[in-house]
Amino acid sequence: MSATAGRAARGEDEVVKKMAALLKSGATMLEQTCPACNVPLFRLKTGEIVCPSCGQRFVIVSSDEEELEVRGNLTLQELERVAIEKLARVAAELRAARDYSEVSEALEVALNLLRVVEYARRIRKGA
C-alpha cells in the first residue's frame, strides 16, 4: 500500500497530465476516488473505470448481486486470457514434439484449455 501512495505523491503533475489526456480522449471524471491514491476515477469510453494515478481498474456497481456478476465476468475473462496464453505455449510444444506420446500429451492439454475458453465464453454470454 505504501508503494502505491508513494508513487501517487511523486508524480502529481504526471497525474494531472494523465487526467487531462483522459478527458481529452472522451473519458468522464467520476465522483468516486481511488482508495489507494485518493484521486478521482475516470470512466473510459469503453466503460472501464481507471485510476489516473496508479492505473488500477475498478468496477462500480449498485448492488451486491451486480457486483458478484461483474466480478464473476472479470474472473472468467482473466481465466480465458490465461488459457489462451497457455494454448500458445502448448502450440509451440506441439510443434516441437518428437513422438506421438508428446503429441498426444500436448493435445490433451490443449483440449482442456480449449474447454476452459469455451466454457468461460459461454458462461459470460449467459448461454
Examine residue 114 and tell whether it contacts Zn ion (CB under 5 A).
no
- Which C-beta is closer to Zn ion: that of 39 or that of 116? 39
Task: Write out the binding residues for Zn ion, residues 58-77 only, by CB under 5 A.
Answer: none
Assigned C-alpha cell, 19: 487526467
- Which C-beta is closer to Zn ion: that of 38 or that of 112? 38
Write down the least CB distance from residue 101 to Zn ion, Å.
50
Cβ burial, residue 73 (10 Å; 0-12/13-18/19+): middle
- Which C-beta is closer to Zn ion: that of 32 or that of 56? 56
Q: Would you give the binding string for Zn ion spanning residues 34-63, x where CB under 5 A is met? A: x-xx-------------x-xx-x-------
Contacts of 120 (CB under 8 A, 6+ apart): 76, 77, 79, 80, 83
- Which C-beta is closer to Zn ion: that of 1 or that of 96? 1
Write down the least CB distance from residue 69 to Zn ion, Å.
24
Q: 86-95 — which CB contacts under 8 Å span 24+ positions?
A: 86/113, 87/113, 87/114, 87/117
Examine residue 117 and tell whether it contacts Zn ion (CB under 5 A).
no
d(CA 59, CA 27): 15
Assigned C-alpha cell, 11: 508524480
* Positions that interact with Zn ion (CB under 5 A): 34, 36-37, 51, 53-54, 56
